[in-house]
Amino acid sequence: METTISENPPVQLKSLPNFRPVVSGRLYRSSRPDLITEQDYETVQRLGLRCIVDFRSVGEYRSFKGKTKFVDEDFRVVKVKPPTRWGSSNGLRYRYYSDGSQEKPKTNGDVKSRGFHYFINFFTMQYIWNVFTRVPWYMQLYSLMYLVYDLIFWTNYIHFVRFFARNSLNKAGLTRQYIDIVELSQGAIYSVTQ
């Protein structure tokens, strides 16, 4: 007999409050799996996960410092490079890393991990440029102060991004954001479906 989500209550994890099954025993949904604690990670290991798909860039994943990423112990970090419209290759390309903290990529050699942690960046430079050019020219100039501040203090562009979230993304509305993602991140969407 097939089990449904309603028959199996979601696993409660303190470090991942939104962790829940999409298809019980097969597909789970969460954000920021790198924030998981050791106790909660033991619970997740019992679920038998073999693959994590992360809609962030490897750079964003690595920029989060100060926490031990228990996910990296069992899941090998893989950066997925989606095909572009102008690229000569139609297939996906992968870049393997020995763990989430090292810079040098590895080849497809022996993998001694339980699974893979795939990174697919939805926010391409084309998307970022579209958001940047949506505001008037004087706001673009003003935003450069935030960019300089973020570069000097290594804040991972948090003030620069907040400025555009407030002045461009929020004003455009949620529907426009989704339309932009669909139009400008087609390679990433293709990668997810593969």
pLDDT in tens, the chain (194 residues): 344 444 455 667 888 878 888 787 777 888 778 788 888 888 888 888 888 888 888 877 877 765 557 777 788 888 887 766 655 455 566 666 665 444 444 444 444 567 888 888 877 788 888 888 989 999 999 999 999 999 999 887 889 989 988 988 888 888 888 888 788 777 777 776 66
> What one-character-per-residue DSSP string does 88-143 give?
S--S-EEEEESSTT-SSEE-S----SSEEEEE-----HHHHHHHHHTS-HHHHHHH
Residue labelled with tokens 């893979």: 116
| Tens digits of residue pLDDT in 34-74 | 788 888 888 888 888 888 888 888 877 877 765 557 777 78
Whole-number average pLDDT of the chain: 76
